[in-house]
Amino acid sequence: MTFYGLFENNPTQEELYKISEQQAHNRACKELAAACDAYVNKAYTLLCDYLHLLEDWKVMYAPQSLGEMEESEKHMNPCFITACQQLDYIGYLVDSLIWADFEGQAQFYKTHRKEMVTIADKIEQYSKSRDAYGSALQ
């Protein structure tokens, strides 16, 4: 008995094995794409958070007078110096991640994954120190 022609030609074991392999490959590709998307989203969020933090630091910790600026770098706040040094670079990383295709995203991961961990640590350290300072004021 045929059911609308679906079972007229039963697939051989070899055909079933090929279908199974294709399905496993497709599943693996989908999982890889999902993992890549998750990484890109997390990296984008992290970079944007750090970019905004640097922008805030550049304003909050900027020298208030020309005299302060002329004294020396030793007396400038390290957050201000970091902001001046990193702002353009982090902006570049955000742009390169946004406009990257799949291969570019994979290359970004290979090239910058350790840097992303370092940035996450910097944000966490700053948040902890700010929270500790805020609780000490109360």
- Residue 83 near residue 54 (C-beta atoms within 8 A): yes
Residue 16 has pLDDT above 90, yes or no: no
**Residue whose C-alpha is closest to residue 50's, from 131, 97, 116, 1:** 116
Q: Rounded to whole angstroms, how far apart are CA atoms 38 and 48?
A: 15
In this structure, the dihedral spanned by the alpha carbons of residues 22, 25, 30 and 34, taken in order and rounded to 10 degrees, is 170
Whether residue 72 is predicted with pLDDT greater than 70 in this model: the reply is no
Q: Reply yes or no on whether the pLDDT at 110 is more than 60.
A: yes
Check if the beta carbon of residue 116 is closer than 8 Å to that of residue 46.
yes
Model pTM?
A: 0.75
Distance between start and end Cα atoms, the chain: 82
Bigger pLDDT: 49 or 3? 49
Tens-place pLDDT, residues 19-57: 788 888 888 888 888 888 899 999 999 999 999 999 999
pLDDT value for 23: 84
| Average pLDDT taken over every residue of the chain | 83
